[in-house]
A = this chain, B = another copy of it.
Amino acid sequence: LSHFCAIAHAQRFDRRRIPLLTTINETILAAARLKTINLQYGVDDTVYAQGAPSQFVYIIDEGALLRFKLLPGWRKSILQFLFPGDGFGFEISRYHLDAVQALTPVRVRAARRGALIAAATSNAGLSKLLFNSASRALATAEEQSTLLRGRHATERLALFLLDLDARLHGQIDLPMRRKHIANHLGLTEETISRKFSALQRLKIIRFVDDRQRRMVIRDKPRLQQLASDASDFDYSNTLKRRKT
């Protein structure tokens, strides 16, 4: 038990502060006293596919992944991006309803789903933790819906960046491609690219590497304002200045 607590602490305070996001987290694994195994994945590797039997639950030690659903007609919908400390892979169904894929080289710990369920069945405290965790995940998902109801691309992107900032703290290292962000926000990659350029021109963000992947937020108040009302920002594709 103390072993896992130590890891949990290291995870939470070491590199990044993270509001836990999904139905599984460090505390749960610790409370269930499950044996875990370490696994590694390379870029673009699939951790599990949609419809596959659900055997393990996972917690991320290092790297980033994306969680998505396949839709009728070859399309997919990216539900969220996962970072160290986040957990995934636990559902009621015995088969996965989503799929998870690595964005960078990844190290995860995996525990048997069956063992977790068995532990929860005889342990009301653990069940309660699971419920808490699912509730928080639900709140996160509804937050996401609210984000997607925002009508302007700038609003959505600003909210997305602020959320990442809160989770990753400080310098944001985007592990995903433009097209992933676009899919997640219900936009196109061209629009994402244009909005990034616009935010950079206005000195609200800055990319600090040549890959345009590592960025800092230079003017968070302005970004927060854009997140709630982008009406004095949104200009079209061209470079004309803001409306008066």
Contacts and interface: CB of A to CB of B under 8 A. Distances in A.
Question: Which interface residue of A122, A136, A149, A184 has the most chain B CB atoms within 10 A?
Answer: A149
In which size bucket is the chain A interface? Answer: 35 or more
A75 B71 CA distance: 31
Interface in A19-55: 23
Interface string A213-242: 000000000000000110000000000000
A69 interface: yes
Given A138-B23, A145-B79, A228 B124 contact: no
A91 interface: yes
Interface string A67-96: 001011100010100000000000110000
B142 A79 contact: yes
Contacts of A127: 120, 124, 127-128, 130-131
A176 interface: no
Given A121-B128, A124-B127, A69 B150 contact: no
A135 B135 contact: no
A146 interface: yes
Interface of A: 23, 69, 71-73, 77, 79, 91-92, 97-98, 120-125, 127-128, 130-132, 134-139, 141-142, 144-146, 148-151, 183-186, 228-229
